[in-house]
Amino acid sequence: MDITVNILLTIATAATPLLIAAIGELVVERSGVLNLGVEGMMIMGAVGGFGAGYLTGSPWIGLLAAIAMGAVFSLLFAVMTLSLATNQVATGLSLTLLGLGLSGMIGTSFVGQPGVRLPNLDIPGLSSIPVVGKLLFGQDPIFYISIALTAAVMWFLFKTRTGLTLRSIGDSHASAHALGIKVIRYRYLSVIFGGACAGLAGGHLSLVYTPQWVENMSAGRGWIALALVVFASWRPWRVLAGAYIFGAVWIGQLHAQAFGIPVPSQMLSSLPYLATVVVLVLISRNKRLTMMNTPASLGQPFVPDR
């Protein structure tokens, strides 16, 4: 029983950073902006979070620093693509490259230093209930934030007027502009929200997952988050499902490798990617729904004519 609970907990820990980064990127892409810099913002969040936690000794300050780092870094992308109308793909890619390099430089003195870890939730009585206690009331704070964030984004996008406006901008920025909607302002806020989420996801890596600083510790998670958004056809609950499927198969194959199952390890390592893609493609079979949810102006620079 304990083994099962432990496996479930590691799955949640593996899925959480993917979920947070992907939910942030989902909002960005719903507004019609394609930010390929998730990986870069994530690693900046990780180094910022670790550094602030290490220097102050407070993991909570580290958490705030991770969020701020991601948001500030995304602002660079926003200024380039929204105000200067540069190519979003190229700018996003360079943001990732910049983030990977810059974080390595910032983090040279952090390598090998002991970090601080965010404490798990511990509610006397509740957290010690067998099985469910640990799963529901004994995880790290970012896990709860990720679930709340998903629900909040779902409610925001589909139940509020502001969310409707955001989706309309993603569908056609020209039409939105013609109606007098402030396209650029919405996109700025979306990009910064996405950056903050990516930063938080990075903070999860360096403050919860492995509380230390290792260069390139995001290890491609930003790219997986990006792919999740597309394969989940821009629907929040599907992103959640995708992140957890990925996490589950990831942990599963690690255990399988540890047991020495006679399958080449490369095959096993590729399983999470395959499984996630297959499942999400299957649930996105409805072409019509996919079409409706795809932001039609995704990636197109917007320059209002005056």
Partner 1 sequence: MSANHDGANLLEVRGLTKIFGTLTACDHIDLNIAKGEIHALLGENGAGKSTLVKMLFGSLEPNSGEIFWNGQAVRITSPGAAKKLGIGMVFQHFSLFEALTAAENIALSLDDGSPISSIAAKARALSYSYGLPLDPDSLVGDLSVGERQRIEIIRCLLQTPQLIIMDEPTSVLTPQEADKLFETLERLRAEGKSILYISHRLEEVKRICDRATVLRHGKVVGHCNPREETAASLARMMVGNEVQAVVRAPVEGIETAQPLLEIRGLSRKPATPFSIPLRNITLNVRAGEVIGIAGVAGNGQGEFFESVSGEVLQQDAASVRIRGKDAGGLTITGRRLLGAAFVPEERLGHGAAPRMKLSENLLLSRHATDGKVFVGTGGMVKSGAVYAASQRIIEAMDVRKSAPDPEAAALSGGNLQKFIVGRELDRRPSVMVVNQPTWGVDAGAAANIRQALIELSRSGSAVLVISQDLDELFEMSDAIAVMHNGELSKPMPIAEATFEKVGLLMGGAEPGHAEHTLETA
For partner 1, the closer of residues 209 and 234 by Cβ is: 234
Does position 274 bind partner 1 by CB under 8 A?
Answer: no
Measured from the CB atom, is 169 or 225 closer to partner 1? 169
Residue 267 or 289 with smaller CB distance to partner 1: 289
Closest CA to 58 of 139, 121, 115: 115
User: Residue 176 region, left (φ>0) first, then alpha (ψ -120 to 50), else beta?
Assistant: alpha
Which of 97, 178, 219, 261 binds partner 1 (CB under 8 A)? It is 178
Q: Hey, which residues between 150 and 169 contact partner 1 (CB under 8 A)?
A: 161, 164-165, 167-168
Q: 165 burial class (0-12, 13-18, 19+ CB within 10 angstroms)?
A: middle
Single out the residue of 162, 238, 194, 252 nearest to residue 78, CA to CA. Answer: 194
- Is residue 148 a contact residue for partner 1 (CB under 8 A)? no
**Dmax over Cα atoms in the chain, in whole Å?**
66
Cβ atoms of 207 and 116 within 8 Å: the answer is yes
CB of 164 to partner 1, least distance (A): 6
Q: Does 13 bind partner 1 (CB under 8 A)?
A: no
Residue 114's Cβ-count burial label (10 Å; 0-12, 13-18, 19+) is exposed
Residue from 87, 109, 113, 175 touching partner 1 (CB under 8 A): that is: 175
Residue 193 token pair: 């929200």
Q: Per rule CB under 8 A, is residue 85 in the interface with partner 1?
A: no
Kindly tell me which of 135 and 230 has the beta carbon lying closer to partner 1. Answer: 230
Identity of the residue, 56 or 290, whose beta carbon is nearer to partner 1 in the bound complex: 290
**Helix crossing, 38-56 with 221-231: angle to 10°?**
130
What is the Cα–Cα distance from 150 to 274, expressed in whole angstroms? Answer: 24
By CB under 8 A, residue 296 contacts partner 1: yes
Toward partner 1, which CB reaches closer, 123 or 296?
296
Is residue 174 involved in binding partner 1 (CB under 8 A)?
Answer: yes
Interface residues with partner 1 (CB under 8 A)? 161, 164-165, 167-168, 171-172, 174-181, 287-288, 291-294, 296, 304-306
